Amino acid sequence: MKPKMLFVIGAPRSGTTMLERMLSAHSMIQGGPEPHLLTPLAHLGLWAKVDKAPYDHILAAQAQKGFVAQLPRGEADYWDACRAYCDTLYGRYMEACGGGREICLDKTPAYALILPFMQKVFPDAKYVVLTRHPIAMFSSFANSFFDGDYRAANEHNPIINRYVPALAAFLRQTDIPYVHVRYEDLVKDPETWFQRICEYIGIPYEPEAIDYGKAGEEGGRAKGLGDPIGVAQHTRPTTASVKKWVAELANDPDKRKLVERALAAVDPADLETIGYPPAKIWKPLLEAGDGVPAPKAPKLDRYRLERKLIVRLRSAARGGGPLRRVLEKARLACDVLLRE
């Protein structure tokens, strides 16, 4: 089975899980948790670290290029092979899900960093590109996964500097058709934008899918990667998170400086292309003026307690103290015991 492919492309914390839930609520679309199938394939295989794999990846790449050059259609045969791999896995997934839906949806934010590869493998797929205000996106990322520690979040994954150029490059290309939606526009007027997305995909507009939380999917939905907290709090798009970052940066000069440095390193043309001109980036903060109340601390639940513990343990482990030595000994013991 060769499924019709639909990809939602966007940076982490840009609303992609919300849009995936809406699209998955459509009668013709089969969605699900992030599968991360294409990123390993784009980097030559299913290894945790390709540079640590037990072969010389540089020599292997050179050898494969020579081999591919001898094929009847050259590089086109290589892309066919990658496509066959993906068609098999996505096709079997659709069979396993049942339900007779025609379109397979994959929403994996990391795909935004391998879009040139995807254009070769899936030139006929549908691409929905979702962008969000860069500061709002990064603020959500830091608060969702790093307990509000901007520095730790940026060191782990500088999403502004990685994703803005990658998304802008795709939006400027003209070989592959796509539809571009801004998060702020989608949550403000979901009916209009969801209808436009359906028209682009070529499926009937089903307005009831906008209320994704009422679609009855959650009970049978497989667990996987995606939004860990936000999207489950709502049953449809909401503007509640559009300007949450304003209060945070208004009351924390260090966080503002970090974001300013990140944005300064981005090409202004890229910001313009994704829908957020540099001249308007800080407009919500300037309009808020002085005396913006500090944001309230989020309620402590199991997930947030886990994140706090992980952040503190990671910081302690990187400090080179006793904890790191214990972890290194534990890792060595595990390597010895689990070695095949």
pLDDT at residue 229 in the model:
59
Q: In what order do the strands lie in the sheet with 29-30?
A: 29-30, 103-106, 4-9, 126-131, 179-182
Pair (251, 335) in one structural domain: no
Closest residue by Cα to residue 193 from 203, 202, 205? 205
Pair (325, 259) in one structural domain: no
CA distance 90 to 1: 8
- Partnered with residue 5 across adjacent β-strands are 104
pLDDT at residue 46 in the model:
39
Query: Looking at 298, 313, 329, which one is the last position of a domain?
Result: 298
* Overall average pLDDT of the 40-57 stretch: 57
* Overall average pLDDT of the 252-265 stretch: 96
pLDDT at residue 252 in the model:
94
* Overall average pLDDT of the 287-316 stretch: 76
* Overall average pLDDT of the 298-314 stretch: 72
Question: 307 near 142, Cβ under 8 Å?
Answer: no
Question: Which position has the higher pLDDT, 315 or 166?
Answer: 166
232 pLDDT more than 70: no
Q: Could you tell me the pLDDT band of residue 47, with boundaries at 50, 70 and 90?
A: very low
Which structural domain, as residue segments, surrounds residue 131? 4-298
Average pLDDT over the chain, rounded to whole? Answer: 86
Pair (127, 236) in one structural domain: yes
Lowest mean per-residue pLDDT among 71-85, 162-176, 206-220: 206-220
CA distance 268 to 274: 10
Pair (126, 254) in one structural domain: yes
* Overall average pLDDT of the 105-119 stretch: 93
Pair (221, 329) in one structural domain: no
Pair (180, 312) in one structural domain: no
Question: Which position has the higher pLDDT, 34 or 204?
Answer: 204
End-to-end CA distance of the chain: 36
Pair (292, 304) in one structural domain: no
- Number of structural domains in the chain: 2
CATH of the domain at 8: 3.40.50.300
- Partnered with residue 6 across adjacent β-strands are 105, 126
Give the position of tokens 């300064």: 264
220 pLDDT more than 50: no
Pair (260, 178) in one structural domain: yes
pLDDT at residue 92 in the model:
93
Question: 30 near 107, Cβ under 8 Å?
Answer: no
286 pLDDT more than 50: yes
Question: What's the pTM?
Answer: 0.84
- Between CA 296 and CA 303, with CA 298 as vertex, the angle to 5 degrees is 170
Pair (290, 304) in one structural domain: no
* Overall average pLDDT of the 265-281 stretch: 97
Residue 163 CA, chain-centre distance (Å), reads: 9
260 pLDDT more than 90: yes
* Overall average pLDDT of the 255-266 stretch: 97
Pair (327, 253) in one structural domain: no
Q: Give 2-42 pLDDT, tens digit per residue.
A: 889 999 999 999 999 999 999 999 999 999 888 888 887 77
* Overall average pLDDT of the 175-183 stretch: 97
Lowest mean per-residue pLDDT among 54-58, 61-65, 96-100: 54-58
48 pLDDT more than 50: no
Pair (237, 307) in one structural domain: no
Question: Which position has the higher pLDDT, 145 or 274?
Answer: 274
Pair (338, 232) in one structural domain: no
pLDDT at residue 154 in the model:
95
Burial class (CB in 10 A: 0-12, 13-18, 19+), 17: buried
Question: Which position has the higher pLDDT, 161 or 336?
Answer: 161
Question: Which position has the higher pLDDT, 188 or 232?
Answer: 188
